[in-house]
Amino acid sequence: MSFPASRPRRLRRTPTLRQMVRENHVLPSDLIAPLFVCEGEGIEVPISSLPGQFRFSVDRTVEAAKRLWEVGVPSVILFGIVSDKDEMGSGSYNAGGPVPRAIEAIKEALPSMVVIADTCACEYTSHGHCGILRGLSVDNDATLELLARAAVCYARAGADIIAPSDMMDGRVAAIRRALDNEGFVETPIMSYAAKFAGAFYGPFREAADSAPAFGDRRSYQMDIANRREALREMQLDIEEGADFLLIKPALFCLDLVRDARERFDAPLCVYNVSSEYAMIKAAGQMGWIDEERLIDETLISFKRAGADLIITYHALEWAQRFAQNV
Ligand SMILES: [Zn+2]
């Protein structure tokens, strides 16, 4: 059927009609909020390149988690900031570190909240790379052991989900094995399956103090030009036992989100990364865009592409606004 019998504008005539035929919706329960946890107490340091985001000490992290929970955001993903770093990233499996302590504290205050532990070495290594170095490159297999230890440490603290973000080959299998050996057979893995190297993470590195001291991450994170390779990475992670797939960055990879949605049945998560957030915030502060609407349109585009879950720095403000409007 074509024009004039077919007139798609008929379904756009009124707000109610448009609402009725709306195909995708964002709910607070789709959102996961990233939180940066540091040492100390009573600390709440604004992150200049991520307006509205903070480095929180454990006690303040719990307060932040409560604010999220109150407006229906069911989950947080934690990143650690430590002053004591070493070559081997041993802080990543220190049970007394900020992340394990925050996991314990959040689970105690909010037992139903889903606490995700980002699992990587870069926040804990003196050189800022995502694993153990051999010469100037990251040793894949030596790093697997480190990741597995960190994963078990977070599971012991009570993490509901382990989320490896390092892009080493074989890490999902290594973490699965370690978790199972320690009795954590029910702890799922959310794998950063397709994670690209690039300029998308600049503000995050300020937040997490995790910039590499030399070189870049191109020998382990993917080339932004590659689509088939991303699907291969996701396939491998599914085979190794990943329970969720995560694609990062989100806005620059909506084609892959659609590809993944059509090919895999696992829950699919996107990471709406720091630069995506910072660009909206900066343009909003300049008065160049309608910030709230752009945030709404950003989040719905992830759902339309096929994502189930969205890690986003907008989580709190968006869910607060959502709560006011229902
Ligand atoms: Zn890393």
Integer Cα distance of 317 and 307 in angstroms: 20
How confident is the model over 288-311, as pLDDT tens digits? Answer: 999 999 999 999 999 999 999 999
From residue 78, alpha-carbon distances to 38, 164, 285, 286, 306 in Å are 10, 12, 27, 30, 24
Banded pLDDT at 209 (limits 50, 70, 90): confident
Residue 147 Cα to ligand 1 middle (Å): 11
Q: Does the structure show a pLDDT above 90 at 143?
A: yes
Lowest mean pLDDT among 22-31, 98-107, 206-215: 206-215
Characterize the bridge pairing of strands 54-57 and 268-272.
unpaired
Q: How many CB atoms are closer than 10 A to CB 94?
A: 17
Residue 164 Cα to ligand 1 middle (Å): 9
Percent of the chain with pLDDT over 70: 100
How confident is the model over 239-281, as pLDDT tens digits? Answer: 999 999 999 999 999 999 999 999 999 999 999 999 999 999 9
Q: Could you please state the CATH topology (level 3) that the domain comprising 27-325 is classified under.
A: TIM Barrel (3.20.20)
Residue pair 124/39 in contact (Cβ under 8 Å)? The answer is no
3-state secondary structure of 140: helix
Q: DSSP for 21-52?
A: T------GGGEEEEEEEESSSS-EEE-TTSTT
Residue 274 Cα to ligand 1 middle (Å): 14
Percent of the chain with pLDDT over 90: 95
**Region 63-74: what's the mean pLDDT?**
98
Per domain, the residue ranges of the chain are 27-325
The catalytic site residues sit at 195, 248
pLDDT, residue 194, reads: 96
3-state secondary structure of 307: coil
Residue 98 Cα to ligand 1 middle (Å): 17
How confident is the model over 173-183, as pLDDT tens digits? Answer: 999 999 999 99
User: What residues contact 276, with CB distance under 8 A and at least 6 apart?
Assistant: 200, 249, 250, 251, 252, 298
Ligand 1 is an ion; its neighbours by CB within 5 Å are: 120, 122, 130
Q: Does the structure show a pLDDT above 90 at 208?
A: no
Integer Cα distance of 29 and 68 in angstroms: 11
3-state SS, one letter per residue, for 175-208: HHHHHHHCCCCCCCEEEEEEEECCHHHHHHHHHH
The DSSP element (H or E) to which 257 belongs, if any, is: helix 254-263
